[in-house]
Structure 1
Amino acid sequence: MYDVAIIGGGPAGSSAAIFTAKAGKKTIVIDSDQSVTKRAWVENHYGTEGITGPDLVALGKKQAAGFGTEFVTAKATKLTAGGGAVTIETEEGTYEARHVIIATGMFADVAEHSGVRTKPGTEPRIKTIIDCGPDGRTNLANVWAAGTIAGVSMHTIITAGDGAQVAINVISELNGERYVDHDVLKA
């Protein structure tokens, strides 16, 4: 069983995975490889002067993998929560995790098929989002939402930050105390 399963490998999902894996949580990202970021040219992302969407996505995945995140290419179809775990059904097989973060961008399918409450989107071209709290919690036990699907602006820098924020909340829940991840320069 994984500590954290993240559905979606775009900026929100991979950013969440960087934090959970770096915190020592066994992390898997289930990614259908449909991120809209893969069609973008990005000049407004802090820390880069300009980068293609595919390069940004690949860099985020590489960084998360460097901390031990496992990636699988599959489309998640349904979540079932119970007994302190969440079962993730995909077209390729089944996975189980203590917590799940849905970071599927514009796609609400898995949420809608799983009983996760949704509501009309707030961004242009975003039809449906997950109805979650400011911390990312949904109505389904141990299921969280991050990024565009959670109602934040679909700019990569914002979705990546939201993925990190939700990951910190999940790690804090797993640890039973507030988690902080700050590295310092070595003298």
Structure 2
Amino acid sequence: MYDIAVIGSGPAGASAAIFAAKSGKKTLVIDNDQGVTRRAWVKNHYGVEDIKGPDLVEVGNKQAAAFGAEYVRDKAVEIAKSEEGFIIHSENGSYPAKHVILATGFLTDLAEKSGIKTAPGTEPRVKTIIQVDSSGKTNIDGIWAAGTCAGVSVHTIITAGDGAKVAINVISEMNGERYVDHDVL
């Protein structure tokens, strides 16, 4: 049983996975390698002068893996409630998790199929978003959403920050106290 399963490994998903794994939570990332950042050229990301989207995604995923996040290259097709949390069914397997963070970019079909409330998108090319509260919670307890699919602006630096925020909120809820991750030189 995973503590946290993240669906999507773009900036929001990888950032959530970094924080989740670094906090000691057993973390799984399920990704189908179809994210929009993989087609981007990023010149406006703080701290990075110029990077190709695929390279930004690769670096973020390596960071999460270095902290212990496990990666599965697969497409999640359903999220079902279980006694201890959820079972994420994919095209090639099933994965149990206590909490799920959706970071699916422009795609909300998995959320809609799983009974998560959506709304019309507000940005160009974003047709639908997942309804979340300020902490990233959806209408289903234990399922969260981060990044573009949760209505956050499509820019990588903003979605990465939102993924981190949502992961910190999940970790804090699991720990029963506010989680802070701050390394010191």
TM-score (norm 2): 0.99
Cα distance in 2 for partners of 1:139, 1:80 equals 14
Superposed counterparts of 1:110-129, under 5 Å: 110-129=110-129
Cα distance in 2 for partners of 1:111, 1:93 equals 18
Cα distance in 2 for partners of 1:79, 1:140 equals 11
Whether the aligned pair in 2 keeps the contact of 1:81 and 1:141 (CA below 8 Å) is: no
Gaps of 5+ in 1: none
| Cα displacement string for residues 89-133 of structure 1 (whole angstroms, at most 9, x for unaligned residues) | 100110010000000000011101100001101111000100110
Cα distance in 2 for partners of 1:135, 1:83 equals 24
* Partner-residue secondary structure (3-state), 1:13: helix
Equivalent residue letter for 1:12: A
Correspondence for 1:152: 152
* Partner-residue secondary structure (3-state), 1:97: strand
Cα distance in 2 for partners of 1:76, 1:132 equals 20
Q: CA deviation at 1:86?
A: 1.0
* Partner-residue secondary structure (3-state), 2:30: strand
Correspondence for 2:32: 32
Cα distance in 1 for partners of 2:34, 2:152 equals 19
Q: CA deviation at 1:181?
A: 0.4
Gaps of 5+ in 2: none
Cα distance in 2 for partners of 1:136, 1:130 equals 10
Correspondence for 1:12: 12
Cα distance in 2 for partners of 1:97, 1:11 equals 21
Cα distance in 2 for partners of 1:183, 1:105 equals 29
Question: Number of paired residues?
Answer: 185
Whether the aligned pair in 2 keeps the contact of 1:86 and 1:99 (CA below 8 Å) is: yes
Correspondence for 1:62: 62
CA RMSD of aligned residues (A): 0.7
State, as a whole percentage, how many aligned pairs show the same letter.
Answer: 66
TM-score (norm 1): 0.98
Q: CA deviation at 1:82?
A: 3.9
Whether the aligned pair in 2 keeps the contact of 1:13 and 1:163 (CA below 8 Å) is: yes
Correspondence for 2:106: 106
Correspondence for 1:90: 90
Correspondence for 2:162: 162
Whether the aligned pair in 2 keeps the contact of 1:32 and 1:73 (CA below 8 Å) is: yes
